[in-house]
Amino acid sequence: MAINPRYAADLAKVAPLYERVKTVIPDIEWPVHAPYVAAINDLKKQRNAVILAHNYQTPEIFHCVADITGDSLALARRAGETDADVIVLAGVHFMAETAKLLNPDKTVLIPDQRAGCSLAESITAADVRELRRQHPGVPVVTYVNTSAEVKAESDICCTSGNAVKVVESLGTEQVIFIPDEYLASYVREQTDVEIIPWQGHCEVHERFTAQELRDFRGSHEGLSIVAHPECPPDVLGEADFVGSTAQMQDYVTSNRPAKVLLVTECSMSDNIAADIHDVEFIRPCNLCPHMKRITLANIQESLETLKPAVEIDPVVADKARAAVERMLAIGR
Ligand code: 13P
Ligand code: SF4
């Protein structure tokens, strides 16, 4: 059977990109991805667009079409620095909102509006106002995994990469820390500031158990366990290192453990393994259904139609932007 010449040209054009991911994407799958990769990389030029991809995106997105990759903090920082006219956020909705807050005049696209987050769903602006009423004068530190409306009720934002630094930057004896109860408890262990938490959880990280990690350590000699601080405290107690997704990646890259278990979303291991071949990844990972709503197909459609675009009420946006910018002024 003759191969369509356009398809053959696409395959040839993106062949060098396959070299980056060939250890994590089977060659039988690549012909499905290749036409999308070729089309998206052309569309980015036509639209003067950049794709920001979170560390939990699949390798064909992360390594083959993204311009900027990283944790929530890096994506927020880099979103504020781009000259592009269009930003596509390959991640979840709160990340796209943060990019829009920092680029009110640019088009910010989220390829599937349903890409939410259980933490962002766990708290509303009215809940924050009620917390303030219960704790008058206590500042509110808000994890970026929240809606713009919740950020607008906050004094400052934080990410998993800078939470302790942000809490201590306020110079108060107490802070209200929302919405992740487990990140709050991780921060509490590292500071004298009294932390008033909320009961939000990440549906991906709360599923890991300390017993499963002990079992993996028992069956893999010399295993390093690296965990995200959204995990429950007893799970973090089993870890050799705890950090944001970028800090987890840095830990593996610099320490080169012979075997590592990343206690987080599944694509993290694939994305690091594509670059690092001397580390064995043990994978009891959990999938984030929201992150997985983003695909090459809907990135392409989003760049073609310039939809769905993120819009934020200007009054909410001004207040939420102040909380994000206050965080960015502090640094990691
Ligand atoms: P990071 O900021 O560490 O990338 O975390 C974002 C997130 O959603 C983790 O579940
Ligand atoms: Fe939200 Fe958890 Fe998914 Fe991160 S992994 S986007 S915190 S649900």
Supply the DSSP string of 112-155, one letter for each residue. -TT---HHHHT--HHHHHHHHHHSTT--EEEESSS-HHHHHT-S
Kindly state the tokens that stand for 163.
Answer: 């939470």
Q: What is the model's pLDDT at position 332? A: 52
Per-residue pLDDT at 284: 83
pLDDT at position 146 is 98
Tell me whether residue 331 is in a domain.
no
Question: Cα(280)–Cα(66) distance, rounded to whole angstroms?
Answer: 25
Which CATH number does the domain housing residue 268 bear? 3.40.50.10800
In 3D space, the residue among 228, 275, 246 whose CA is nearest the CA of residue 72 turns out to be 246
Nearest-5° angle of CA 280, CA 288, CA 221? 25
Measured by CA distance, the residue closest to atom 2 of ligand 2 is: 202
Mutation probe of ligand 1 site: the residue of 69, 230, 242, 247 with most atoms within 8 A of C-beta: 230
| 168 & 261 share domain | no
Beta partners for residue 156, in sequence order? 141
Domain boundary among 202, 228, 247: 202
Q: How far is the CA of 69 from the centre of ligand 2 (A)?
A: 16
Looking at 180, 202, 224, the residue that finishes a domain is: 202
- Map tokens 């995990």 to a residue: 231
> Residue 263: CB within 6 Å of ligand 2?
no
Q: How far is the CA of 272 from the centre of ligand 1 (A)?
A: 15
- Where does a domain end: 160, 187, 202? 202
Residue 210, Cβ density class (10 Å: 0-12 exposed, 13-18 middle, ≥19 buried): middle
Residue 55: CB within 6 Å of ligand 1? yes
Domain containing residue 103: 5-115+291-305
Q: Considering its fold, how many domains does the chain have in total?
A: 3
Report the predicted TM-score, pTM, of the whole model to 2 decimal places.
0.95
98 lines ligand 1 (CB under 6 A): no
Nearest protein Cα to ligand 1, atom 6: 72
* One domain for residues 101 and 154: no
**Angle at 297 (CA atoms; ends 292, 298), nearest 5 degrees:** 70
| Length reported for the chain | 332
Could you state, in chain order, the average pLDDT of each consecutive group of 10 residues for the chain (332 residues)? 75 91 96 96 97 98 97 89 95 97 95 98 98 98 98 97 96 98 97 98 98 97 97 98 97 97 96 96 93 98 98 98 96 58
- Residue 244 near ligand 1, beta carbon < 6 Å: yes
Whether 88 is in the pocket of ligand 1, judged by its Cβ within 6 Å, is: no
225 located within any domain = yes
Q: DSSP letter string over 28-76? A: TTHHHHHHHHHHHHHHHHHHTEEEEEETTS-HHHHTTT-SEEE-HHHHH
At 70 the pLDDT is 95
Quote the pLDDT of residue 1. 58
What count of other Cβ atoms lies within 10 Å of the Cβ of residue 7? 13
291 Cβ below 6 A of ligand 2:
yes
Angle between helices 266-273 and 245-255 in degrees, nearest 10: 40
- The pLDDT of residue 136 is 97
